[in-house]
Amino acid sequence: MKSENPIFNHPTLQLLEKCETLRTLKQLHAHMITTGLALHTYPLSKLLLLSSTLAITYALSIFNQIPNPTIFLFNTLISSLTNHRHHTHIAFSLYNRVLSHKIITPNSFTFPSLFKACGSDPWFYHGRALHTHVLKFLGPACDHFVQASLLNFYAKCGKVGVSRYLFNQISQPDLATWNSILAAYARSASSGCDTSLSLEVLCFFNEMQSSSIRPNEVSIVALVSACADLGALSQGAWAHTYVLKNNLKLNRFVGTALLDMYSKCGCLDLAYQLFDQLRERDTSCYNAMIGGFAVHGYGHRALSLYERMRLEGLVPDDVTFVVAMCACSHVGLVVEGCEIFESMKEVYGIEPKLEHYGCLVDLLGRAGRLKEAEERVRTMPMHPNAILWRSLLGAARVHGNLEIGEVALKHLIQLEPETSGNYVLLSNMYASIDRWDDVNRIRKLMKDHGINKMPGSSLVEIGGAMHEFLMGDKTHPYSKEVYLKLEEINRRLSEYGHKPRTKEVLFDIEEEEKEDALSYHSERLAIAFALLASDSTSVPIRIIKNLRVCYDCHVSAKLISLIYVREIIVRDRNRFHHFKDGMCSCLDYW
């Protein structure tokens, strides 16, 4: 139909497509007025689209001169405006004009772009009002695009439950809708620390597979990032094979997700192999690989990749600076890290953000330059957040600087009165120097705030299935065997001269229970189970832990890797530990 109407192929429209300046745009506009082309909706929509990208005021003045703009023209301009965050308010004022219009009403093309615009901060509230408009104008059975955009909107506001509800209303979800729900859950999972959302992604993906819809690259990215979060290596590797077998594109999005997954599952070599093979590599791709090297403790490799990235002409972004500084931090390259921080502003003209100050404080703190770190926190241009104070507290704990630790905790309790980790850090600090009165004081403080310690949990993958263990957990079907194995492990550990260091054990555990409690930390149960489940020494044991590994478990894991000749890879909240032949890749610095 399009080719039959001469207006669609008018030479002026072809010129319009090539137009790059406001000057030529105005010339073409004048030409369209004289030829009468400007009276037709389609050429007008093209003109509006282009002018809204070149000069928004000009676009609006064109629009205001259209005698009876159709809903198509309204939609065109609204959607173009919502591509720029600071034009959202103009888009909404146009939408208001649609609402007060006597003849036209919003249709299913009006809403998706507005919902997209509502997905970022001050606009959340408007999105919910807009939802009622969808019900009013389109009814509950609106088309898939509107449903998908609604679902995405709620997911971005962190309301995945509502997204799921909307998803369940759709009788036969198409590919776009499946991808929306997959991405919604994957995104929410990566922004928090709730692994159950990632498990949901895996469930949704299985459901999708049993429908007639075939996953595409977007679905795979969501699946793979969920696998990365869970440390579900076999499922992640399966996704990789799926891409290859079904001729899906190994584009930079899929490639980055896969290499990030391999790296987060502890297979840094596979991650690097993939990185090397990728044809198109952008900044995010480099960020994932540099970040991978960083958390695995290969600071120097991370930095040389950072160098290579710049040589390739790619411009570092906010994330690059975070991962590069984090790489320096993990291996104590203080000078290099500080240089990177300074280069942000001096070389790239990027103003450091809160997270960059966070990296800097972490870097200085770990290196024992606590005074300097504290000074940075006090003098930075924005208000320090809890993460910053926590890394200062962490550094104070490692270097035994109580004075700074106490200051940091005071700020932390104000910012996050309900986070148990903060109290635990300081309390462990007091415990390590036998200041038990202070330990009790902190314990009382926690009680007063009604806080319970977050239970440690470890995930381990055996034969493609994920097994979860909590501290002191007895719910696993092989619990009895696991505890027997644990006894054997403890016996062999003490044969090797291991004496549990109990000082760091949680203060809410009675003294006599301490030694026991240590050996029941979730990662110990997971290791015992993995040793039981497979004795093939060539397969490393991979564990994902939600908290930081404690001192005693770290020492024990090193010894177990030696005694049982088994590589153990633990991803804790901060980083990776590769335990092999009695050593750990973090060189006891974590």
| Residue 527 beta carbon to Zn ion: minimum distance, rounded to whole angstroms | 11
Instruction: Tell me how far apart the alpha carbons of residues 576 and 588 are, in angstroms, rounded to a whole number.
Output: 12
Tokens 């921080």 locate to 341
Q: Which stretch binds Zn ion (CB under 5 A): 233-241, 247-255, 274-282, 542-550?
A: 542-550
Nearer to Zn ion, 78 or 518 (CB): 518
Contacts of 31 (CB under 8 A, 6+ apart): 12, 37
Which amino acid, one-letter code, is at 25? L
Nearer to Zn ion, 411 or 514 (CB): 514
* Structural tokens at position 65: 């001169």
Nearer to Zn ion, 10 or 577 (CB): 577
| Residue in 249, 260, 254 with CA at minimum distance from that of residue 287 | 260
Nearer to Zn ion, 360 or 543 (CB): 543
| Residue 288 beta carbon to Zn ion: minimum distance, rounded to whole angstroms | 22
Interface residue with Zn ion, options 268, 553, 560, 568 (CB under 5 A): 553
| Residue in 219, 211, 213 with CA at minimum distance from that of residue 181 | 219
| Residue 572 beta carbon to Zn ion: minimum distance, rounded to whole angstroms | 8
Binding mask 493-532 vs Zn ion (x if CB under 5 A, - otherwise)?
A: ----------------------------x-----------
Q: Which stretch binds Zn ion (CB under 5 A): 179-187, 229-237, 386-394, 548-556?
A: 548-556
Contacts of 144 (CB under 8 A, 6+ apart): 170, 173, 174, 176, 177
584 touching Zn ion, by CB under 5 A = yes
Binding mask 28-57 vs Zn ion (x if CB under 5 A, - otherwise)?
A: ------------------------------
Nearer to Zn ion, 119 or 472 (CB): 472
Task: Give the residue at shortest CB distance from Zn ion.
Answer: 553
- Scan residues 425-454 and list those touching Zn ion (CB under 5 A): none
| Residue in 47, 56, 49 with CA at minimum distance from that of residue 25 | 47
586 touching Zn ion, by CB under 5 A = yes
| Residue 443 beta carbon to Zn ion: minimum distance, rounded to whole angstroms | 19
Nearer to Zn ion, 263 or 284 (CB): 263
Note the helical H segments in 100-123.
111-118
295 touching Zn ion, by CB under 5 A = no
Q: Rounding to the nearest 10 degrees, give the CA dihedral for residues 245, 251, 256, 257.
A: -50
Interface residue with Zn ion, options 184, 550, 559, 569 (CB under 5 A): 550
Nearer to Zn ion, 226 or 550 (CB): 550
331 touching Zn ion, by CB under 5 A = no
Q: How far is CA 84 from CA 121, 177, 288, in A?
A: 14, 24, 27
Contact 430, 415 (CB under 8 A): no
Nearer to Zn ion, 164 or 397 (CB): 397
* Element spanning 578, H or E: strand 576-580
* Structural tokens at position 205: 């993906």
Interface residue with Zn ion, options 46, 301, 397, 577 (CB under 5 A): 577
Burial-class residue 242 by CB neighbours within 10 Å (0-12, 13-18, 19+): middle
Q: How far is CA 389 from CA 326, 358, 394, 416, 548, in A?
A: 17, 9, 9, 11, 17
How many residues sit in the footprint of Zn ion (CB under 5 A)? Answer: 6
Nearer to Zn ion, 385 or 502 (CB): 502
Residues that bind Zn ion (CB under 5 A): 521, 550, 553, 577, 584, 586
